[in-house]
Chain A
Amino acid sequence: MRRYLLKRLGAIIITLWMLATIVFMLVNVLPGDVGRRVLGPTAKLEDVRAYNAKLGTDKPLIEQYFRSIKNLFTFDFGDSFQSGGPVMDLILPSLGRSAKLALLAFIITIPISIAAGIFAARRQDKLADRVVVNAGLASSSVPEFVTASVLLAVFAVNWKVGKVYANVPSGTSLFGQLEYLLLPAMAMVISYFGYIARMTRAGVITALHADYTRTATLKGLDSGQVMRKHVLRNALAPTITVISVQIGYLFGGIIGVEKVFNYAGLGTLMLNAVGKKDIPVLQTTVLIVGMIYMVSTLLADLLIAFLNPRVRLDGGS
């Protein structure tokens, strides 16, 4: 187990390094040098030079590259071009907000979609199953910004249920926060319901057809016990994987929802950083989202290993 963990962590570090390299390459093909980009097209040459010298962006690319990798591993992410302050001061609160929203969305999505998936699997090929499968398909086919806009227009603006801006004013009670976060969370729920429900369904169907389920039934267990004790534990592995992958996306992929609800999460931050060419912010957020993705897939794998000891043996030690 420890070996496995170490191996995975090593892989994560290497992946992060690659990620940093990719991002470095991407931002360095942006036209114009950094100082020029930040100070604008009419800034004086000497100012641009001074700015570049201050940031070190006048050095050869390879040197900048090594410096940026070094900074990454020393947690020195630099200052934002937009705020002038440390990048982390911008990212951490946004990260927190994104996490809060993602958490709420997950708290709603996971039970609903897993329940729907199980429900459908137990009625495989019956009407109820088709309804769930196709509703899932439809819900994950509508881009989340569309769902978000509709929810916003119908609920927040027309019926004054929920808020137009999802940013929660400080000091709002936990329950009061719901009013702000529920609509964007619902947009995410609708988008992810389909994936998770369909995955769960597939996993449950596979497990229902497995030999051990037969054994359990022939022991004399009733179908509820079979489902709870034998099927679910094995069926949830693919679901967990899907969820873990979605976590990464929830932090950065739901830019559309954040944009519609003017929510100051990581998505908005990134969108802004792209627009304003705020490279330090961009680089760091990308790395953080990548890290979240990797850590959540690692956690998912560990959870799967916990649920299914066979994986534990295959994967490590």
Chain B
Amino acid sequence: MSEIDPALNSGNAASSSAAAGANERKLARKETWRLIRRRPSFIIGMTIALIWVVCALFGNLLAPFDPLNFRGDLNSSPTWSHPFGTDKGGRDVLSRVIAGARDVLKIAPIAAILGVIGGVILGMFMGYLRGWFDSVASRIVESFLSLPVVLLGLLAVTTLGNSNVVVIGVVATLFTPVVARTVRSAVLAESELDYVESAKLRGESTPFIMFREILPNVSGPIVVELTVRIGYAVFTVATLSFLGAGPPPPSPDWGSQVSDNYNSIVSGYWWSTFFPAMAIASLVIAVNLIADAVQSVVESS
């Protein structure tokens, strides 16, 4: 990394191989990873998130009971055989919470990824092309932002029905303008930089400049946005289910579990609400912890 000065020291250290260079690149990437991994918030967040991912993938093996099947007592408080108790249908809450992970993890990340992809493309064009396209798109973005997410979601789900595809589509659509705004401002700042001008001086085409030159440089905010969005997606899906516009039953998704059971809290049957609620919170917190770690490393590098 030291500067080799031409005047007195004519490049004697200059002949290391290209392989070493590739190695260095890998090291740099590893270094970023290492920095992220070292953060306690990342470790905690990742651990929690991984637990839920495992539940989502192998839920049917892990769940002690059939999450949809009815057995035993209704509303029985936590015991050794039902550590999270049973709900008002007599179903094992633990099994339902484990099974619920799949719904959330099927929907939230996909919705977030789609939203981020849409937002990146839109934001890229807005920030780079500017002019009338940006003005028009900005107004549309702004009008979406001024709407309560949940309301739009409700409206769309009422209109289109509540299948997983619709929920994913709705959340992704709602995230697109939000992400676009972030990407736009990153791209705006980025296109002020001279390398963009230098690419123009080289005769590069606009798509090349946008997607090959600028895009990699705004990957930091995009990665941050993605992690943050996953958290919001979990939250949004839960809220939509609570309001009756989530994934359709019998999916034991956490939001509908809370929605189905929250009125039993007053009877003292707190467990059937508490555990799915905590599941939502823990996953959102976990994703946010990861986002925090990613953000601070991305922003400091």
Q: Indicate if the CB atoms of A289 and B258 lie closer than 8 Å.
A: no
Report whether B292 and A137 are in contact in the complex, using a CB–CB cutoff of 8 Å: yes
Interface residues of A in 1-57 (CB under 8 A from B): 11, 14-16, 18-19, 22, 26-27, 29-31
| Contact B242 A143, beta carbon cutoff 8 Å | yes
Contacts of B149 in A (CB 8 A): 253
Known: A19-B146, A30-B158. A255 touches B151 (CB 8 A): yes
B154 lies within 8 A of A18 (CB): no
- With an 8 A cutoff between CB atoms, is A183 at the interface? no
Least CB distance from A268 to B in Å reads 11
Q: A286-B151, A289-B147 are in contact. Are A29 and B159 (CB under 8 A)?
A: yes
Report A134-165 residues with CB < 8 Å from chain B CB: 137-138, 141-143, 145-146, 149-150, 152-153, 157-158
B148, B152, B158 — which one has the most chain A CB atoms within 10 A of its CB? B148
A69, chain B: closest CB distance, angstroms: 14
Of B20-28, B54-62, B79-87, B276-284, the stretch lying at the interface with chain A is B276-284
A186 within 8 A of B: no
The closest CB in chain A to the CB of B286 belongs to A141
Selected contact of A149 from candidates B148, B262, B289, CB within 8 Å: B262
B31 on the A face (CB < 8 A): no
Considering only CB atoms, which chain A residue lies closest to B282 in the complex?
A141
Closest beta carbon of chain A to B47's beta carbon, Å: 15
List CB contacts (< 8 Å) of B140-185 with chain A: 140, 142-152, 154-156, 158-160
Closest to A156 in B: B266
Among A19, A141, A255, point to the contact of B150 (Cβ < 8 A): A255
**CB-based contact A282/B155 at 8 Å:** yes
Partner pick for B146 among A30, A146, A290, CB 8 A cutoff:
A290
B231 within 8 A of A: yes
Q: Given A142-B277, A149-B265, A150-B265, are A252 and B148 neighbors across the interface (CB < 8 Å)?
A: yes
Q: Is B227 an interface position by the 8 A CB rule?
A: no
Q: How far is the CA of A26 from the CA of B156 in the complex (A)?
A: 7
Shortest beta-carbon distance, B183 to chain A, in Å? 18
The chain B residue sitting closest to A27, CB to CB, is B155
Q: With A15-B142, A286-B151 in contact, is A142–B159 under 8 Å at CB?
A: no
**Of B150, B151, B266, the contact of A153 (CB 8 Å cutoff):** B266
Establish whether residues A249 and B148, one from each chain, have CB atoms under 8 Å apart when the complex forms.
yes
Closest partner residue, chain B, to A138 (CB atom): B285
Output the least CB separation between A236 and chain B (Å): 20
Q: Which residues of B contact A100 (CB under 8 A)?
A: none
CA distance A294 to B146 in the complex (A): 7
- Residue A260 at the B interface, CB < 8 A? yes
A212 to B54, CA, bound (A): 50
Q: Give the interface of B toward A (CB within 8 A).
A: 139-140, 142-152, 154-156, 158-160, 231, 235, 238-239, 242-243, 255, 258-259, 262-263, 265-266, 270, 273, 277, 280-281, 284-285, 288-289, 292
Given contacts A11-B142, A253-B151, A289-B151, 16 further A-B contacts (CB under 8 A): A15-B143, A137-B285, A138-B281, A141-B284, A142-B280, A143-B255, A146-B262, A149-B262, A149-B263, A157-B266, A248-B146, A249-B148, A256-B239, A259-B243, A260-B262, A289-B147
A-B contact pairs, 14 of them (CB 8 A): A16-B143, A19-B146, A22-B147, A26-B155, A142-B280, A149-B258, A157-B266, A248-B146, A270-B151, A271-B243, A274-B154, A289-B147, A289-B148, A294-B146
